[in-house]
């Protein structure tokens, strides 16, 4: 997967059960068709 591509991209939110979250995220990352964005970038004090 190339980070610098000219293809259109979409920002989506995927809600999955906690029981299958690790396996699902691992599979989606392995096939290279999805990038993950950290939704918790704010520092909580």
pLDDT score, position 19? 92
Q: Is the pTM of this model over 0.75?
A: no
How much of the chain exceeds pLDDT 70, in percent? 73
With 0-12 CB in 10 A as exposed, 13-18 as middle and 19+ as buried, what is 25?
Answer: middle
pLDDT at 9 over 60: yes
For residues 2 and 9, is the Cβ–Cβ distance under 8 A?
A: no
pLDDT at 14 over 70: yes
The runs of H, that is alpha helices, within the chain are 18-31
Q: How confident is the model at residue 13 (pLDDT cuts 50, 70, 90)?
A: confident
Q: How confident is the model at residue 42 (pLDDT cuts 50, 70, 90)?
A: low
């Amino acid at each position: 997967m190339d980070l610098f591509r000219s293809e259109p991209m979409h920002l989506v939110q995927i809600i999955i059960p906690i029981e299958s979250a690790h396996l699902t995220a691992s599979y989606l990352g392995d096939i290279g068709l999805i990038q993950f964005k950290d939704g918790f970038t704010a520092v909580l004090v």
